[in-house]
Amino acid sequence: MASFDQKLAMAKRCSHEGAVAGAKAAVVATIATAIPTVASARMVPWARAHLNHTAQALIISTAAGAAYFIVADKTVLKTARRNSFNNTNGP
């Protein structure tokens, strides 16, 4: 059975991998939503009239935040599941 220090180190590694993967996903989501949001706010008449800079920032940051938390959560769960199957030493 793994010691407490090993379990703590494994948990820190899992959370770090999740944070890194989430940050990467947030960057991609920011770029993927910023381009069409800003372009539509400049070209589409309805969007030009109704989407000010605050609304555009809210759309972009919501997508980035959602991507971060979804990917980070999935990565932490995947890593924890992988580690729990790899570290089974029997009863």
pLDDT of residue 69 exceeding 60, the answer is yes
Query: According to the model, what pLDDT value does residue 7 have?
Result: 82
The region that residue 3 occupies, defined by phi over 0 for left and psi between -120 and 50 for alpha, beta otherwise, is beta
What is residue 88's predicted lDDT score, i.e. its pLDDT? 57
* Percentages (nearest 5) of helix, strand, coil residues in the chain: 90, 0, 10
Tell me the pLDDT tens digit for each residue of 4-50.
888 888 889 889 999 999 999 999 999 999 999 999 999 999 999 99
Q: 0.75 cut: is pTM over it?
A: yes
